[in-house]
Amino acid sequence: MSATARPRRSPVPSEPATPAPSREERPAPAAATSEAAPSQRPAAPPRPPRPFLLDFFPLEGSDQTRLSRFFERLREGRLSTTRCPRDGELHWPPRVACPTCHTEELSWVDLPEHGRIYAFSAVLGGAPLGLEADVPFAVGLVDLDGVPLRLFGRIDGKPWTELRIGGAVRVEPYDVGDGRMFYRFRTVE
């Protein structure tokens, strides 16, 4: 199930009643942004096809989600989200409607590439289908630098036994293995 292999309509739905978040706005205030060159991304191991209802990774094509822009920007090395231009609220995850003022005219903003670990643990067993081969792996909550967002994510790099609260990590977009993109964190020396 690959976004690039799927039939694509226009990246922005044309229905005026339900516009997708479309306004570009970058960089985000107080957010240091940088772009990872595609060559820096880890090679994606091939991913066997999986029934959709047993696959954790989201369908990212514009024929499936109004948030396909998120994945397009991820492919460019940018972790981004939506922000409400009216009340300035930064969302996570990205949204199609502001939960506060209910406008659907949202802006895309890049998020900081760096953050620090607030809490972490590791999956040493009992992993969900599709992630068993990754065991053991670390996960954690990461405070992104300069924005009020604490994101949950996989933490690669150092083994979990060497992680520490407050440790520095950076955002790492990666190819899921079937053409789709997702993100995780990687420890910074």
Residues 56-115 that bind other proteins (CB under 8 A): 56-58, 92-93
Distance CA 116, CA 111 (A): 14
Using CA atoms, how far residue 22 sits from 33, 63, 64, 89, 155, in Å, is 19, 16, 16, 16, 30
Q: How far is the CB of 134 from other proteins (least distance, A)?
A: 7
Residue 23 in 3-state DSSP?
strand
**149 contacts other proteins (rule: CB under 8 A):** yes
- Count of chain residues binding other proteins (CB under 8 A): 37
Q: Would you state the structure tokens that stand for residue 46, as one six-digit string?
A: 């091939």
Binding mask 109-148 for other proteins (x = CB under 8 A): ---------xxxxxxxxxxxxxxx-x--x-xxx-------
How many angstroms separate the first and last alpha carbons of the chain?
35
Q: Which of 127, 89, 113, 107 is nearest to 168 (CA)?
A: 113
Q: How far is the CB of 54 from other proteins (least distance, A)?
A: 6
Instruction: Please say which residue, 154 or 170, places its beta carbon nearer to other proteins.
Output: 154
Interaction site with other proteins (CB under 8 A): 54, 56-58, 92-93, 118-132, 134, 137, 139-141, 149-154, 160, 165, 176, 182, 184
